[in-house]
Structure 1
Amino acid sequence: MTEEKDLKYRNLFMGLLFDGIGMLSFAIPGIGEFSDVIWAPIAGWLMTRMYKGKIGQAAGVVTFIEELVPGLDIIPSFTIMWIYTYLISSKKA
């Protein structure tokens, strides 16, 4: 049980960190949007590693698009996925 709880909070910490990295492009005008071209595929891949299965793959695609499209970096996709995984879908089970 503690291993599952450790994974839950590790994913929360990592998700907050990755969302923060994704939002850094707002800090550097002009250069920031170029960094999204590099960060988008990395973020999509990280999402698929953190959350397995079809839901993780779908979240990876959404994260990739969200990071690539200018102006959408403000959406905390990793945190939203954590909330869905550990708070919303765990209540259904």
Structure 2
Amino acid sequence: MTEKKKLLLKGIAYDLVGMVSYVFPGVGPFIDIIWAPFAASQMTKMYPGKQGKIAGVVVFLEELSPGLDVIPTFTLTWLYIFVWKREKTKPHIIEAEIVE
């Protein structure tokens, strides 16, 4: 399995865990208080650099904000990095000499 697929599956799992607070209506906010810093640290580990730091802050705030747990932040980050922001490669021109 490629590293990209592993990150996607891990992200989907983390998104599902983040949504678990809806299953426990009275306890949900307390779960989010514990989950938010953990989710932020995992996001920065999964995506090092500037993108991971920004995504870590976003997932932290999203998990602490009431009603926003349904946003799949890990999956959206994966899509941003590997699908939407993917750098387009320019075609390479190969010069060749014809030797007779």
Q: Which runs of 5+ in 1 are unaligned?
A: none
Q: Which amino acid aligns with 2:7?
A: N
Query: CA shift at 1:43, angstroms?
Result: 0.3
Match of 1:27 in 2: 23
Alignment RMSD: 1.2
More helix by share: 1
Q: Which amino acid aligns with 1:47?
A: M
Q: Which amino acid aligns with 1:84?
A: Y
Match of 2:43 in 1: 47
Match of 1:86 in 2: 82
Match of 2:61 in 1: 65
Query: CA shift at 1:6, angstroms?
Result: 1.2
Q: Number of residue pairs matched?
A: 89
Query: CA shift at 1:57, angstroms?
Result: 0.1
Deviation digits for residues 38-71 of structure 1 (CA, Å, limit 9, x no counterpart): 0000000000000010110000000000001111
TM-score when scaled to structure 2? Answer: 0.85
Match of 2:98 in 1: none
State the secondary structure of the residue aligned to 1:25: helix
Identical columns (%): 48
**Is 1:74 aligned to 2:70, yes or no?**
yes
Query: CA shift at 1:92, angstroms?
Result: 3.9
Which protein has the larger Cα radius of gyration, Structure 1 or Structure 2? 2
TM-score when scaled to structure 1? Answer: 0.91
